[in-house]
Structure 1
Amino acid sequence: MPGIKEIRTKIKSVQNTRKITKAMEMVAASKMRKAQDRMRASRPYATKVREIAAHLMQANPEYSHPYLAAHAEQPKAVGVVVVTTDKGLCGGLNTNVSRVLLNKLKEFQERGIEVQTTAFGNKGLSLLTRLGSNLVSQEVGLGDKPNLERLLGALKVQLDAFLEGRIDALYIATTRFVNTMRQEPVFLRLLPLPDGLEDPFQSGLKKAEAEGEEVKASYSWDYIYEPDAKTVIDELLQRYVEGLVFQAVAENMASEQSARMVAMKAASDNAKKVIGDLQLVYNKTRQAAITKEISEIVGGAAAV
């Protein structure tokens, strides 16, 4: 059985750890609210762009944007954008995305499809580097606020590859924010865009289905635009694709802070439980030592 001094040192060490995890939990809780507000604030923009672009395409069916054209039934090469966090200590957030990504990469490899990748975040960059994937662009150190200008450079490499026909589809692996306690890893197709421009981040949710019906009903509105439909559609679809990537990064950041807050709370609770167990062992050991000393004193007095 360890001595009283060792147990006291262990209790002090766990208490210090709990202070750190508690502080990180509070910081994550503060950042989480701001990240969620930024994520929700970006949704109306993408929704409105999607509505206008879909209506213009319905009004001008003779024009098809390259982002809407399917290159081949059996793709020979695809691009994958991986969105992860820059830091750890956020539970299984990055692990879940990595698991989905590895399954898809294995599937592409079995089908003989070449893959070129783009990494947003240090964790995803480290994973793709270890895998030896064809990494064509990257952006790390994104911070707590998504910055579209920093994302566009790395994203443009993949968009140009799609327009030039070097890849037949573009996918994104990220985390979809559901609520504070739940974040889902998703693997979504960005290009070619689906018919009707359904929102890939909301298409899997029941609530989004009802919203989608409302969006389709709103396409009956008419617009006055300049200079012509082709120019407007080109610009809108470009902004729409950029907005989807921005939304993916914003959702991942909101998921990161939520997952970190939950993970740090669990760590603080576990540390509290460990301290309680150690305190119990300490009391028992101290009581045993006192009892032993009393027995020795009584035995010595009886011998005299």
Structure 2
Amino acid sequence: MPGLKDVKDKITGVKKTAQITKAMNMVASAKLRGAQDKMESFRPYAEKFAGTMSELSAGMEDANLPLMEIRDVKTVEIVIVTSDRGLCGSFNSNIVKVVEKLVKQYESEGKTVSIVTVGKKGAQAFKKSGKLRKSYDDIMGTFQIFNAREISQDITETFLIGESDQVDIVYGKFHSVAVQKPEREQLLPIKPVENDAESAQEQNGATGSYIYEPDPNEIMEVLLPLYLNVQVYHAMLEVGASEHAARMTAMDNATNACKDMIDELTQLYNKARQAAVTGELMDIVGGAAALKG
């Protein structure tokens, strides 16, 4: 049985750890409120932008729009959005597992895969894979729309010069404080969305078409790069909120685990102390018996 001092030192150490995890939980909770508000404020904009793109692209030919050019896919680029910091449970590892599975799938189909990481944890996971083309580290804590623009411009240039035939993005989507799941979307080529007139008629009771000025093709030339910016920025916002939610949950679990450890160590300490007291009493009783004898 360990000595009293050893057990007491362990209890003190675990209590200090519990204080740290509780403080990190409170910090993550405070940051989550801001990140979640920012993400939820941007979601309607992203949805409306996607709806506008759907209206414009329905039935449109992609011949004059390079970003909508569908090719025979031989090379695929995967953009991975993770956090820069750890201590958020399995949030980042779940994203990495999805990407690893995706890479194996593409390679089994004979396709070449390259990877662009946004966030330090993704870069660390694929640093030695030989597939990492570019990484954007230390930006997830303070990212802005210009960071998303820089990333989208980079992957767009790679697509236009033919170094990639398809670009996917994998990120952690925020569903709730307790649930954050990896999500995969195709960024390039941008696929036209066909409108369902019958469905629209059932929902709205009427159908109609928009008249665009200038020509829809001219509008699309401007909107397509902006659409990519919105998609990348939206993914970064989702990961930003998901990271804090996952860290808050992980730190709460860690604090509860520390409390359980303290209870177990306290019981062990009491047993060790009782054993020490019993030993001393036995020595006293034995000594007294020896004196009488």
Give the structure-1-normalised TM-score: 0.86
Q: CA deviation at 1:78?
A: 1.4
Letter in 1 for 2:107: Q
Letter in 1 for 2:70: A
Map of 2:171 onto structure 1: 174
Separation (CA, whole Å) in 1 of partners of 2:278 and 2:61:
94
Residues 213, 285 of structure 1: CA spacing in aligned structure 2 closer, same or farther, 3 A cutoff? Answer: farther
Residues 3, 46 of structure 1: CA spacing in aligned structure 2 closer, same or farther, 3 A cutoff? Answer: same
Structure 1: 5+ residue stretches without partners: 199-211
Separation (CA, whole Å) in 1 of partners of 2:211 and 2:15:
63
Instruction: Show CA shifts across 1:9-29 (max 9, x none).
Output: 010011111111111111111
Residues 252, 220 of structure 1: CA spacing in aligned structure 2 closer, same or farther, 3 A cutoff? Answer: farther
Say what the alpha-carbon RMSD is for the aligned residues: 2.4
Map of 1:80 onto structure 2: 78
Map of 1:291 onto structure 2: 278
Give the match's secondary structure for 2:122. Answer: helix
Given that residues 4 and 269 in structure 2 are in contact (C-alpha distance below 8 angstroms), is that contact kept between their aligned partners in structure 1?
yes
Counterpart among 123, 129, 132 of residue 130 in structure 2: 132
Give the match's secondary structure for 2:77. Answer: strand
Map of 2:12 onto structure 1: 12
Counterpart among 252, 255, 265 of residue 242 in structure 2: 255
Q: CA deviation at 1:235?
A: 1.7
Aligned pair count reads 285
- 1:81-96 alignment, distance < 5 Å: 81-96=79-94
- 1:46-61 alignment, distance < 5 Å: 46-58=46-58, 61=60
Structure 2 residue 160 is matched with structure 1 residue 163: yes
Structure 2: 5+ residue stretches without partners: none
Separation (CA, whole Å) in 1 of partners of 2:70 and 2:261:
57
Given that residues 200 and 207 in structure 2 are in contact (C-alpha distance below 8 angstroms), is that contact kept between their aligned partners in structure 1?
no
Given that residues 81 and 235 in structure 2 are in contact (C-alpha distance below 8 angstroms), is that contact kept between their aligned partners in structure 1?
yes
Separation (CA, whole Å) in 1 of partners of 2:122 and 2:200:
36
Give the structure-2-normalised TM-score: 0.89
Give the match's secondary structure for 1:176. Answer: strand
Give the match's secondary structure for 1:187. Answer: strand
Which has the larger displacement, 247-256 or 188-197?
A: 188-197
Given that residues 84 and 123 in structure 1 are in contact (C-alpha distance below 8 angstroms), is that contact kept between their aligned partners in structure 2?
yes
Separation (CA, whole Å) in 1 of partners of 2:212 and 2:106:
44
Structure 2 residue 36 is matched with structure 1 residue 36: yes
Map of 1:27 onto structure 2: 27
Which has the larger displacement, 44-53 or 172-181?
A: 44-53
Residues 108, 224 of structure 1: CA spacing in aligned structure 2 closer, same or farther, 3 A cutoff? Answer: closer
Q: CA deviation at 1:184?
A: 0.9
Given that residues 75 and 164 in structure 2 are in contact (C-alpha distance below 8 angstroms), is that contact kept between their aligned partners in structure 1?
yes
Identity of aligned residues (%): 34
- 1:189-208 alignment, distance < 5 Å: 189-196=186-193
Residues 107, 62 of structure 1: CA spacing in aligned structure 2 closer, same or farther, 3 A cutoff? Answer: closer
Give the match's secondary structure for 1:117. Answer: strand
